[in-house]
Every structure is written in C-alpha cells, then in structure tokens.
Amino acid sequence: MQARSVAEVGTGTGVSGLWLLRGMQDDGVLTSVDLEAEHQRLARETFSEAGYAPQRFRLIAGSGLDVMARLTDAGYDLVFLDGDKAEYGEYLEQAVRLVRPGGLIVFDNALWHDRVADPSQRDPETAAIRDVVQRVATDDRLRSVLVPLGDGLLVAQLLP
C-alpha cells in the first residue's frame, strides 16, 4: 500500500514493528505506543540492530487511548492494534479517525485463542474482541476481512 505513516498500539519487543517497517516506504515513519518502558527499550534495540535509522521510528510511552487521542486525524496509512484487548472498541473509533480514506485498520488477536467464536467465553477481553469484530463487520465506513492465521487478524479498510 506504499505506507509512509503507520501507527501501532502495543510495541512489545518490536517484532510487529519490525515487519511494519519492512513493508513501508524507505522514508516511512512508524509511531509505536506502549505503556512499558522496557518494551520500548527492546524495540529500539530491535529496530537499530535491523539497520533502521532512529528517524524511521517514534516510540511513545503511554496509554494507547491517551496517545491516540493526540495523533493527527487522517494522518496514517495503517493503524495496527495489539494493545489492551478490553479497549479494542475504543481503539476502533480512534483508528477510524486516524487512518486516511483507503487506509487500513488491523486488529491482532481477532480470534483470541479460539475464544471469540465460543459464546460461553464471556471474560472482558473476549467480549471486547467479539464486539469489535461485529462492529467492524456492520460499519458502513469499512470493508473488512477476518484472516484466520495464527491468532487471527481483523483487517478493515476505511472506504473513501
């Protein structure tokens, strides 16, 4: 998709960010948000060891929702969400605001260890993921697909 600007919530150790950087334009910038300073330290090491210059990534410490609220409207080609599962519904609204028309919103763990399809599973994380899958599927602003690889990816394109 020729992405130049990608936002990620849930830096972890930088593995997903590394793949996002690899798929971006050479001048693209990844903005990655995580509460844990140690995660960001590890991600910085991962990106640097892979040969990415510091200007290619921006690591922001903080709550995903707090930071997303301060990011630029329609400023991102792709928003990748792998943070607090209970906040997935709120992430969706922020991501729709952040992604440009034609851009992608991607939720990791959309199958959540096969719990999402099991109606007897009612813990807060499973319920939140189940809700966001339903909301994305019925949102007229979005075209979506659920990719059943690994623990599942929910991919939605913001329609122009």
Euclidean distance between the first and final Cα of the chain, in Å? Answer: 15
Can you give the chain as a three-state secondary structure string? Answer: CCCCEEEEECCCCCHHHHHHHHHCCCCCEEEEEECCHHHHHHHHHHHHHCCCCHHHEEEEECCHHHHHCCCCCCCEEEEEECCCHHHHHHHHHHHHHHEEEEEEEEEECCCCCCCCCCCCCCCHHHHHHHHHHHHHHHCCCEEEEEECCCCCEEEEEECC
135 pLDDT tier (thresholds 50, 70, 90): very high
pLDDT tens for 44-82 read 999 999 999 999 999 999 999 999 999 999 999 999 999
- Give the CATH class of 5-158: alpha beta
What percent of the chain has pLDDT above 90?
Answer: 99
pLDDT of 117 > 90? The answer is yes
pLDDT of 118 > 90? The answer is yes
pLDDT of 1 > 90? The answer is no
Question: Any idea what DSSP says for residue 72?
Answer: P
Domain boundaries, the chain: 5-158
Question: Any idea what DSSP says for residue 25?
Answer: -
- Average of pLDDT values for 102-119? 96
pLDDT tens for 14-34 read 999 999 999 999 999 999 999
**Residue 19 half-sphere exposure, CB side, CA atoms within 13 Å?**
8
